[in-house]
């Protein structure tokens, strides 16, 4: 009787097969211990065709649509979940970021196929094109939910080499393909697995993160305008140094924000540009990007308002002008409570006490799918918290455990 | 009798001829109201050949040497001065920066030729190659005083387009030419005229600057090393953000230096680079250049020591590492007192009360020649203090006045 119970609640994933597929796809665009695979580059297209073959081998109906999304559709007659993530990578990024969630979907489909108790339920698996922003923001998943129009596609070019997206699609042999559109009635919801990309799980000695939601993000652009001049001949009192204005503003932001921060607030000045950025020239202009993230929209908005207030103060004080513009504002996403419960129960089965609930500080395709479907995410630990670097890694035992938890949770949701 | 006295003390320059030559050479590489003429670019080589023709027309022995220096040598039997500056420009720079001093020399040579009282004395005129640093630092004048060896030339490449200096010399048809070497016995000394490149003369309502010396410069390179990571998933307390370390250091430098500054001290952070400089990535490394200038060597060294102390404090405080390196240290140069007196007397004759003594905040070829010859410089005002920008300008009356003062002072020095 025990065996029967196990079969009902536990489709068994094959950890060795899972790892082997992850190692194989990492060969497409290998860079040191990581991968350089920008969306619709030659190696990326090759990896998509390889993935479609794996989907077909697993008994799924494989296709690549007109934006580069790769699908493996279940032929099961019963209820279905959509699973996915992305197989494109950051420039010189890690071997698991994105692709792990796609291969989890493939492995869950194989586990369902191989388990007589799971043959009535199914998963569709997707690799969403360009999650990492080679051409734009969440290009593939937005296309799938109907939030990407043709005019926007016309405008997109690769940040790697300037290739227009239209040309990249044509070179991939996809110019004639339609863009697949979501039929929400087909699915119970959407699940995505991903590496954590941070150090919280490792620090808390947990192996599974049950994601409560994805943070809201405000991105602010600041431009400081001074007066370009010779760095040897312009006395300090009459200078209008845009670089000084920028670094002074940064110090003010860091000091003020530290007093306002919530438990999960983060902010980053990731990009600074001085103009002309020459050692003997007083910068005439300087630009920076300030990004603020928090699971609570109110906190994101409060800090953004504070950044704008500091900019207005700097502008009034002079001698440089300051213009601040809100480039984007992404609303926080909340996970489906029933899906979180299913992930938590499966995690407790396989790693008792080894899981925790946590927000996602990073953006994921799940936040796009969540606009149309109940959604949730699972995290596995990142060694040393490293992400967006070729040295990113996760222990093989954690990779296999995460996939088993993911499979169990999916089966439980579909049977629920 | 008055006419005779005038002839003896006053070779007469031709202001219209001077301005016409300046307008003509500005056509080589014209960029808006300024000039883009990197050393040994095609237009620069053409301008050097044009200049050599003007020297020959003026009765000088014209040549271009194996590093690109253009010379016009006097055939006068008596005492001689060396005059010069540079005809290459900053990228998209002004129409007078450098070239004015060269055409001053040409015009003084013509004025001497045309004045029977000056036929026994002479000026050699030079356009020093690459003062503006396309390939290196003071390439032409260093070559002339014997402070540039072949191995250094082998290493130099254009910052504009990466062309090796050797290749640029060959393309200019100069590969076979020797590099001219200074014979100090030939000259009483070296004079250079230049635009001020700052706003002091204009602010003080003066038309002539008698340069007391050239400031000392220390250039410091700082590298901050943190840990590159995802900007959404790395909690603030465990971050090692090299960009935050850099901007915090800049604020500390500006605050500390303001308390230590002398009357002519300037300092500049002209260059900042974050790595990888992406909006969603915590910078793992950040670099900056800090330049300190003062006419007094002690002050330059005091501020450089303070910058190093602040870096050591930041390094000890963490969480990022800081490495500071002194890239260069240029000693201040002091002008020859007798030359300053001659410039001052000539300025008082033509613009009574309209001159002042002042240091040069910028570096000039004169600081190289001063290692071997008594040297001095004359400045004319820069409108609005603008420099290293195509809108740099000086009033035509000030240009002509400066040349007349320069010619008078040269005659006085050679007769003294």
Which domains are seen in chain B, by residue range? 2-214+332-415 (3.40.630.10), 216-330 (3.30.70.360)
- What's the pLDDT score for residue A5? 42
Q: Which of A280, A284, A326, A387 to mutate to test the interface with B (most CBs of B within 10 A)?
A: A280
Shortest distance between the Cα of A10 and any Cα of chain B, in A, equals 31
Residue A64 DSSP one-character state: E
Separation of alpha carbons A387 and A368, rounded Å = 22
Separation of alpha carbons B151 and A83, rounded Å = 62
ipTM rounded to 2 decimals: 0.78
A215 interfacial to chain B (CB closer than 8 Å): yes
Tell me the per-residue pLDDT of A295-323, one tens digit each, with 9 for 90 and over.
999 999 999 999 999 999 999 999 999 99
Q: Which of B89, B201, B232 to mutate to test the interface with A (most CBs of A within 10 A)?
A: B232
Nearest to B215 among A232, A278, A291 (CB): A232
Shortest distance between the Cα of A348 and any Cα of chain B, in A, equals 24
Cβ neighbours of residue B309 closer than 8 Å, sequence gap 6 or more: none
- What's the pLDDT score for residue A2? 40
- What's the pLDDT score for residue A146? 97
Separation of alpha carbons A209 and A212, rounded Å = 9
Q: How many residues does chain A have?
A: 416
The stretches in chain B having pLDDT less than 50 are 1-8
- Burial of residue A259 (CB within 10 Å: 0-12, 13-18, 19+) is exposed
Q: Which of B218, B256, B265, B270 to mutate to test the interface with A (most CBs of A within 10 A)?
A: B270
Phi, psi of A100 (to 5 degrees): -60, -40
Task: Please give the full DSSP string across B145-184, using - where no structure is assigned.
Answer: HT---HHHHHH-B-TTT--BHHHHHHHTT-TTSPPP---G
Contact residues on chain B for A277, CB-CB shorter than 8 A: 270-273
Closest chain B CA to residue A277: B271
Separation of alpha carbons A141 and A129, rounded Å = 7
Separation of alpha carbons B387 and B198, rounded Å = 7
For strands A187-195 and A375-380, give the pairing.
parallel
**Percentage of residues in chain A having pLDDT higher than 70:** 98
- What's the pLDDT score for residue A388? 84
Separation of alpha carbons A142 and A130, rounded Å = 10
- What's the pLDDT score for residue B140? 98
- What's the pLDDT score for residue A85? 98
Contact residues on chain A for B219, CB-CB shorter than 8 A: 279
Tell me the per-residue pLDDT of A319-335, one tens digit each, with 9 for 90 and over.
999 999 999 999 999 99
Contact residues on chain B for A270, CB-CB shorter than 8 A: 231, 243, 274, 277-283
> Maximum Cα–Cα distance for chain B, whole Å?
89
Q: Do the Cβ atoms of B231 and A385 come within 8 Å?
A: no
Tell whether omega for the bond before B276 is within 30 degrees of 0, i.e. cis: yes
- What's the pLDDT score for residue B127? 98
Tell me the per-residue pLDDT of A166-221, one tens digit each, with 9 for 90 and over.
999 999 999 999 999 999 999 999 999 999 998 899 999 999 999 999 999 999 99
Contact residues on chain B for A361, CB-CB shorter than 8 A: 230, 232-234
Nearest to A271 among B241, B274, B385 (CB): B274
The stretches in chain A having pLDDT less than 50 are 1-8
Window 337-396 of B: residues touching A by CB (8 A cutoff) are 360-363, 385-389
- What's the pLDDT score for residue B9? 53
* Helical segments of B92-241, H only: 99-114, 139-145, 150-155, 165-171, 200-203
Contact residues on chain B for A364, CB-CB shorter than 8 A: none
Window 264-303 of A: residues touching B by CB (8 A cutoff) are 264-274, 277-283, 289, 291, 293
Contact residues on chain B for A200, CB-CB shorter than 8 A: 233, 235
Closest chain A CA to residue B362: A232
- Report how far apart, in Å, the C-alpha atoms of A43 and of each of A28, A239, A244 are: 5, 51, 44
């Amino acid at each position: 009787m025990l065996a029967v119970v196990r079969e009902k609640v536990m489709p068994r994933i094959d950890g060795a097969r899972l790892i082997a597929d992850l190692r194989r796809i990492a060969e497409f665009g290998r860079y040191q211990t990581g991968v350089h695979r920008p969306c619709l580059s030659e190696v990326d297209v090759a990896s998509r065709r390889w993935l479609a073959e794996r989907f077909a081998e697993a008994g799924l109906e494989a296709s690549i649509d007109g934006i580069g999304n790769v699908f493996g559709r279940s032929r099961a007659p019963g209820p279905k979940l959509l699973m996915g993530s992305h197989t494109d990578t950051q420039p010189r990024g890690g071997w698991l970021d994105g692709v792990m969630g796609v291969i989890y979907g493939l492995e869950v489909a194989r586990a369902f196929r191989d388990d007589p108790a799971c043959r009535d339920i199914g998963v569709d698996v997707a690799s969403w094109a360009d999650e990492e922003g080679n051409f734009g923001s969440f290009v593939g998943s937005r296309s799938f939910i109907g939030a990407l129009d043709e005019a926007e596609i016309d405008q997109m070019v690769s940040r790697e080499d300037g290739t227009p997206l239209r040309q990249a699609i044509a070179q991939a042999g996809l110019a004639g393909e339609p863009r697949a559109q979501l039929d929400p009635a087909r699915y119970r919801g959407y699940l995505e697995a991903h590496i954590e990309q941070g150090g919280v799980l490792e620090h808390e000695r947990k192996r599974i993160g049950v994601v409560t939601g994805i943070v809201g993000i405000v991105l602010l652009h600041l431009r400081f305008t001074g007066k370009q001049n010779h760095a040897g001949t312009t006395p300090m009192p009459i200078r209008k140094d845009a670089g000084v204005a920028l670094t002074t503003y940064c110090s003010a932001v860091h000091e003020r924000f530290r007093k306002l921060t919530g438990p999960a607030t983060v902010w980053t000045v990731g990009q600074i540009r001085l103009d002309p950025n020459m050692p003997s020239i007083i910068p005439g202009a300087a630009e920076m990007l300030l990004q603020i993230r928090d699971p609570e929209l109110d906190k994101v908005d409060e800090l953004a308002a504070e950044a704008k207030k500091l900019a207005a103060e700097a502008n009034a004080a002079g001698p440089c002008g300051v213009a601040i513009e809100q480039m984007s504002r992404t609303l926080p996403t909340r996970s489906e409570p029933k899906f979180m419960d299913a992930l938590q129960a499966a995690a407790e089965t396989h790693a008792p006490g080894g899981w925790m609930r946590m927000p996602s500080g990073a953006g994921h395709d799940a936040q796009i799918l969540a606009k149309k479907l109940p959604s949730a995410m699972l995290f596995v630990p990142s060694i040393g918290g490293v992400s967006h670097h070729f040295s990113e890694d996760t222990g093989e035992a954690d990779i296999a455990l995460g996939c088993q938890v993911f499979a169990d949770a999916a089966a439980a949701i579909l049977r629920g």
